[in-house]
């Protein structure tokens, strides 16, 4: 494979390739490297950067000053794939590395300052790659990362092929822990099975450790991992044991807005009782509060629940009645909050939900991280009718971003919204 680099400081890249298997691969001509400098094709003491239009701070790599060197590289390597390293690019991952290792000729263009005049990118760039969500002072280190990761995929660069194929991130899992001698040091022992000599048992053990480590450290990877049914069940069991036992949801029927923005009381909906209870149970929610100010409506809810709790109706264990056990009926949202406070000694952190887009809404990833990171109870509040009253929304600790598509129309039933929101916050992705 031929790799060309174009940068301001080629020595940074050259020096990073002087060591280990990469230096051998270069010596053995498994990879051929050509380092070009932006200064190759300009006059002595001339600059490659200039001030930015629009009074923004920072210098920009000039189209005019770098045009010739890009053209020269393209002339020498007419079929080269030109990669610009940039924080704006697609984030580098193992799949991209494997794809790139199939190329015969790549050129990596490294930025500096505020990056490139956009016209250079329009004219010469085939692919923009970022090496992570942070900013480097220049693209040389990013180029070294690409060269290193891509080269080790090329046959012969790493001695043992299996070292590469067993690496973390291959097949969407990370490796489990690895050990070397001595077996026992400072009373810390290596798992005995690794010394058993039984290859099947060792492979099974390593696989289990690998998927468990992935669950613990990089659960996101498991989405594309080919897990067996048993493995999936095992991982779900581990995750389930410490899930949402402090998370509650509430369905509010007063104070609710109507289409004109007036405050109303809505009536109970039978489907909201069962369906939301089932969603709550599916996602491990501790309790589902139904709040209604009218006694008859609360009694109606109790009657519906009573019907499903009735032993005679228990035709199919595991479905409705099991979920319905988690419902608590209260007169108001405040009573639900006090009920949680009584159990946990502190008021729950409240999260309002609404279909409208408002200022300062919390994202799903932020809320998820908050819930996972703290021991506080959380109450996610859902409205009926045209949504929770403005007073309730504003009194909550957070307002969650609405779920929905890209169009203007957003009128999900509350039971659909509950299911989608719980899935976004607590859904299993493997």
Q: Could you list the residues that contact ligand SAM (CB under 6 A)? A: 85-88, 110-112, 114-115, 130-132, 134-139, 142
Placement of tokens 């290596």 in the chain: 190
Return the number of the residue (50 or 114) whose C-beta is nearest ligand SAM. Answer: 114
Taking the complex as a whole, how short is the minimal distance between the CB of residue 102 and ligand SAM, in angstroms?
Answer: 21
Taking the complex as a whole, how short is the minimal distance between the CB of residue 136 and ligand SAM, in angstroms?
Answer: 4
Taking the complex as a whole, how short is the minimal distance between the CB of residue 19 and ligand SAM, in angstroms?
Answer: 22
Cβ-closest residue to ligand SAM? 111
Taking the complex as a whole, how short is the minimal distance between the CB of residue 337 and ligand SAM, in angstroms?
Answer: 44
Give the β-pairing of 81-91 and 59-61. Answer: unpaired
Return the number of the residue (144 or 389) whose C-beta is nearest ligand SAM. Answer: 144
Alpha-carbon gap, residue 79 to 75, rounded angstroms: 9
Return the number of the residue (114 or 376) whose C-beta is nearest ligand SAM. Answer: 114
Residues assigned a catalytic role = 87, 114, 152, 167
Alpha-carbon gap, residue 291 to 266, rounded angstroms: 11
Return the number of the residue (92 or 290) whose C-beta is nearest ligand SAM. Answer: 92
Taking the complex as a whole, how short is the minimal distance between the CB of residue 14 and ligand SAM, in angstroms?
Answer: 17
Return the number of the residue (135 or 229) whose C-beta is nearest ligand SAM. Answer: 135
Taking the complex as a whole, how short is the minimal distance between the CB of residue 96 and ligand SAM, in angstroms?
Answer: 13
Sequence-separated (6 or more) residues with CB below 8 Å from residue 119:
63
Return the number of the residue (132 or 427) whose C-beta is nearest ligand SAM. Answer: 132
């Amino acid at each position: 494979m031929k790799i060309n680099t174009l940068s301001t400081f080629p020595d940074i890249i050259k020096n990073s390739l002087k060591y280990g298997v990469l230096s051998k691969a270069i010596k053995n001509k498994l990879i051929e490297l050509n380092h070009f400098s932006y200064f190759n094709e300009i006059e002595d003491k001339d600059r490659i950067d200039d001030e930015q239009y629009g009074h923004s701070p920072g210098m920009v790599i000039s189209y005019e000053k770098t045009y010739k060197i890009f053209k020269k590289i393209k002339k020498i390597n007419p079929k080269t794939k030109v990669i610009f390293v940039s924080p704006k690019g697609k984030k580098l991952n193992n799949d991209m590395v494997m794809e790139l290792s199939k190329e015969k000729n790549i050129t990596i263009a490294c930025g500096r300052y505020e990056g490139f005049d956009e016209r250079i990118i329009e004219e010469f760039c085939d692919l923009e790659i970022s090496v992570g969500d942070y900013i480097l002072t220049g693209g040389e280190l990013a180029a070294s990362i690409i060269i290193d990761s891509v080269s080790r995929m090329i046959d012969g660069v790493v001695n043992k092929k299996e070292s590469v194929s067993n690496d973390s991130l291959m097949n969407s899992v990370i490796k489990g822990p690895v050990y070397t001698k001595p077996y026992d040091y400072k009373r810390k022992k290596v798992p005995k099975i690794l010394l058993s000599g039984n290859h099947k048992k060792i492979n099974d053990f390593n696989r289990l450790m690998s998927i468990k480590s992935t669950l613990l450290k990089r659960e996101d990877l498991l989405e594309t991992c080919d897990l067996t049914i048993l493995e999936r069940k095992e991982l779900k069991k581990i995750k389930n044991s410490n899930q949402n036992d402090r998370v509650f949801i509430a369905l509010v029927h007063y104070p609710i807005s109507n289409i004109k923005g007036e405050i109303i009381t809505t009536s109970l909906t039978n489907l909201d009782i069962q369906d939301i209870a089932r969603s709550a149970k599916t996602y491990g929610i501790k309790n589902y509060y139904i709040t209604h100010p009218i006694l008859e409506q609360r009694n109606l809810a109790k009657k519906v629940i009573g019907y499903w709790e009735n032993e005679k109706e228990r035709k199919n264990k595991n479905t409705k009645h099991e979920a319905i056990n988690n419902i608590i009926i209260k007169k108001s949202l405040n009573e639900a909050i006090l009920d949680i406070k009584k159990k946990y000694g502190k008021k729950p952190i409240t999260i309002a939900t609404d279909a409208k887009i408002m200022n300062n809404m919390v994202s799903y990833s932020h809320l998820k991280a908050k819930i996972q990171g703290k021991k506080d109870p959380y109450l996610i509040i859902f409205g009926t009718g045209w949504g929770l009253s403005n007073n309730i929304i504003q009194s909550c600790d957070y307002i969650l971003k609405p779920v929905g598509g890209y169009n203007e129309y957003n009128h999900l039933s509350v039971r659909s919204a509950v299911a989608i929101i719980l899935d976004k916050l607590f859904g299993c992705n493997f």
